[in-house]
Amino acid sequence: MAGIYIHIPFCKQACHYCDFHFSTSLKKKDELINALSKEIELRKTEFKNTTVETIYFGGGTPSLLTNEELQFLIDSVYNNYQVSENPEITLEANPDDLTVDRIIKLSKSKINRLSIGIQSFFEADLKLMNRAHNATEAKACLEEATKYFNNISLDLIYGIPGASNAQWLQNIEMALSFGVPHISSYALTVEPKTALASFIEKGVIEDVNDEQAHEQFHILKDKLEASGFVHYELSNFGKDGFFSKNNTAYWQEKSYLGIGPSAHSFNGTQRGWNVRNNSKYIRALELNVLPIEIETLTQTDQYNEYIMTGLRTIWGVSIQKVENDFGLDYKDYLIEQSEIFINQQLLYIDDAHIRVTKKGQFLSDGIASELFKIN
């Protein structure tokens, strides 16, 4: 299995917490779309003997593209790659872009999964984050989208300053009321050089409370699992049959191409990342040059990546795989390093796999870093 991620680097406005690559100017949209198509074509040899099973439009805000522009890029993939009979094709979308007419037209396209950036159903939260939509639009788009799509994911953010646990529970219950089969949820993170970081530093907004974020994570987990969702990855909950195939491929170390400025790629032994600048990206592709840097991963790099991704998921880290792929020394190191966390009831071993406990889930990235091997 392989996937193609297409990064659409445009947004109507900048969310205060976001450090992804995007532009609020659409002046170069046409040139950028042509460059994306060109990169898709130039990289087809990388998947010469591979079937593409997922296409994912991320961003930025991919729903700023017209249906025709999205179809043009989908056609570019189909014209240059072997695509499975029923691929998962996901569009990240903002509620304000999903009018009734737009939803109906999207439902008639090859796009069969929507990932909707709700973040919160409370107006105060949306204003604090500087989201482009309001709470009314959030509810209206879900009301309509669920009539035409059965595979919908929505995003929620917890740990928002000033948002109580009771309010967070109301957010979750509102999301569940629409019957969506997948929810992705993330703690609000203060990234350097973002507007949020500046506002906190100046005292305009209170700082993120890690303890409250931890509490809200467990409120989320308990509520969704009681509602029939499987907590299959640290930030992702899905009903049976509705796990994100695209994201699952990342966590299970499948190959993927990242198309577009700032997009990342992975083929098992190498990582690549495109230039994080729209103009430079466009100019390079106009010259049929791939604006990408490549890093070949060492054995230790590959081990560390497997630990990081494995511990975030319900599948955990296979002790046998570590021995087979990296050798006995790595296996012994992993077991030795895991002992302290097993004793603290943050990790456990089940069926020769190391997994995080419920107590350890919120801390899984930090635990993983302690299991890393240093060259």
Cα dist. 208→183, 201, 205 in Å? 22, 11, 9
Are 236 and 365 in a shared domain?
A: no
Q: pLDDT at position 182, please?
A: 98
pTM of the full predicted structure?
0.95
Q: pLDDT at position 196, please?
A: 78
Structure tokens of 66?
A: 């017209």
Give the separation between CA 284 and CA 292, rounded to whole angstroms. 10
Are 23 and 103 in a shared domain?
A: yes
Q: pLDDT at position 24, please?
A: 82
270 in any annotated domain? no
118 in any annotated domain? yes
Report whether 352 contacts 363 (CB < 8 A). no
Residue 207 pLDDT > 90, yes or no? no
Residue 353 pLDDT > 90, yes or no? yes
134 in any annotated domain? yes
Q: pLDDT at position 194, please?
A: 81
Confidence band for 206, pLDDT divided at 50, 70 and 90: confident
Q: pLDDT at position 201, please?
A: 84
Q: pLDDT at position 21, please?
A: 78
Averaged pLDDT, 2-31: 88
Q: pLDDT at position 253, please?
A: 85
Confidence band for 208, pLDDT divided at 50, 70 and 90: confident
What tens digit of pLDDT does each residue of 151-175 get? 999 999 999 999 999 999 999 999 9
Confidence band for 318, pLDDT divided at 50, 70 and 90: very high
Among residues 250, 281, 308, the one where a domain terminates is 250
Name the average pLDDT for the chain.
95
Residue 19 pLDDT > 80, yes or no? no
Q: pLDDT at position 134, please?
A: 95
What tens digit of pLDDT does each residue of 263-317 get? 999 998 999 999 999 999 999 999 999 999 999 999 999 999 999 999 999 999 9
Of the chain, the percentage scoring pLDDT greater than 70 comes to 99
Residue 63 pLDDT > 90, yes or no? yes
Are 329 and 217 in a shared domain?
A: no
Averaged pLDDT, 219-247: 97
Among residues 219, 234, 250, the one where a domain terminates is 250
Q: Which domain holds residue 120?
A: 2-250
Are 246 and 184 in a shared domain?
A: yes
293 in any annotated domain? no
Confidence band for 339, pLDDT divided at 50, 70 and 90: very high
Q: pLDDT at position 260, please?
A: 98
Of the chain, the percentage scoring pLDDT greater than 90 comes to 85
Are 200 and 339 in a shared domain?
A: no
CATH of residue 242's domain is 3.80.30.20
Are 305 and 201 in a shared domain?
A: no
Q: What is the count of structural domains for the chain? A: 2
Residue 375 pLDDT > 80, yes or no? no
Q: pLDDT at position 250, please?
A: 86
Are 223 and 350 in a shared domain?
A: no
Are 136 and 245 in a shared domain?
A: yes
274 in any annotated domain? no
Q: Which of 113-117, 189-193, 328-332 has the lowest mean pLDDT?
A: 189-193
331 in any annotated domain? yes
CATH of residue 351's domain is 1.10.10.920
Among residues 250, 267, 286, the one where a domain terminates is 250
The one-letter amino acid at 80: N
Are 26 and 103 in a shared domain?
A: yes
Are 180 and 312 in a shared domain?
A: no
Are 239 and 305 in a shared domain?
A: no
101 in any annotated domain? yes
**Quick one: three-class SS letters along the chain?**
CEEEEEEECECCCCCCCCCCCCECCCCCHHHHHHHHHHHHHHCHHHHCCCEEEEEEEEECCHHHCCHHHHHHHHHHHHHHCEEEEEEEEEEEECHHHCCHHHHHHHHCCCCCEEEEEEECCCHHHHHHHCCCCCHHHHHHHHHHHHHHCCCEEEEEEECCCCCCHHHHHHHHHHHHHCCCCEEEEEECCCCCCCHHHHHHHHCCCCCCCHHHHHHHHHHHHHHHHHCCCEEEECCEEECCCCCCHHHHHHHCCCEEEEECCCCEEECCCEEEEECCCHHHHHHHHHCCCCCEEEEECCHHHHHHHHHHHHHCECCCEEHHHHHHHHCHHHHHHHHHHHHHHHHCCCEEEECCEEEECCCCHHHHHHHHHHHCCCC
Averaged pLDDT, 76-85: 97
Are 186 and 53 in a shared domain?
A: yes
Q: pLDDT at position 308, please?
A: 95
Q: pLDDT at position 22, please?
A: 75
Token pair 């695209």 is found at 246
| Residues near 296 by beta carbon (within 8 Å), at least 6 away in sequence | 269, 270
